[in-house]
Structure 1
Amino acid sequence: MTKHYIDPSRANFEAFKDLPRDEPIHMLNLLQYRELAEYPAGHANADKGWTGRRAYEEYGKASGPIFRRVGGRIVWRGAFQTVVTGPEEMRWDDGFVAEYPNAAAFFEMIKDPEYQQAVVNRTAALVDSRLVRFKPGAGGDGFG
Structure 2
Amino acid sequence: MTRYIDPDRAQFEAFKNLDRDHPIEMLNLVRFKDTATYPEGHSLADQKLSGAEAYANYGAESGPIFANLGGKITWRGGFETTLIGPGDEVWDQVFVARYPDAHAFLAMVSDPNYQKAVVHRQAAVETSRLIRCGATETGGTFG
Q: Does 32-41 or 74-83 show the bigger shift?
A: 74-83
What secondary structure, in the 3-state scheme, does the structure 1 residue paired with 2:45 have? coil
- In the aligned structure 2, how far is the partner of 1:102 from the partner of 1:61? 22
Aligned-residue RMSD, C-alpha: 0.9
What secondary structure, in the 3-state scheme, does the structure 2 residue paired with 1:17 have? helix
Q: Once the two structures are superposed, what CA deviation does each residue of 1:38-94 show, in whole Å capped at 9, x if it has no partner?
A: 000111111211100110000000001000000000011111111111111111111
- In the aligned structure 1, how far is the partner of 2:58 from the partner of 2:66? 11
1:6 equivalent in structure 2: 5
2:59 equivalent in structure 1: 60
Task: For residue 142 of structure 1, report the CA deviation from its aligned partner.
Answer: 2.1
2:95 equivalent in structure 1: 96
1:46 equivalent in structure 2: 45
Task: Confirm whether residue 26 of structure 1 aligns to residue 25 of structure 2.
Answer: yes
Give percent identity, aligned residues only: 52
Gaps of 5+ in 2: none
- In the aligned structure 1, how far is the partner of 2:76 from the partner of 2:136? 18
- In the aligned structure 1, how far is the partner of 2:52 from the partner of 2:136? 31
Task: For residue 37 of structure 1, report the CA deviation from its aligned partner.
Answer: 0.2
List structure 1 runs of 4+ shifted beyond 2 angstroms: none
Task: Confirm whether residue 143 of structure 1 aligns to residue 142 of structure 2.
Answer: yes
TM-score under structure 2 normalisation? 0.97
- In the aligned structure 2, how far is the partner of 1:123 from the partner of 1:24? 26
- In the aligned structure 2, how far is the partner of 1:15 from the partner of 1:64? 25
Count the aligned residue pairs: 143
Task: For residue 138 of structure 1, report the CA deviation from its aligned partner.
Answer: 2.3
- In the aligned structure 1, how far is the partner of 2:15 from the partner of 2:135? 15
Specify the code of the residue in structure 1 equivalent to 2:69: V
Task: For residue 25 of structure 1, report the CA deviation from its aligned partner.
Answer: 0.4
Task: For residue 8 of structure 1, report the CA deviation from its aligned partner.
Answer: 0.3
What secondary structure, in the 3-state scheme, does the structure 2 residue paired with 1:29 have? strand
1:110 equivalent in structure 2: 109
Specify the code of the residue in structure 2 equivalent to 1:88: G
Gaps of 5+ in 1: none
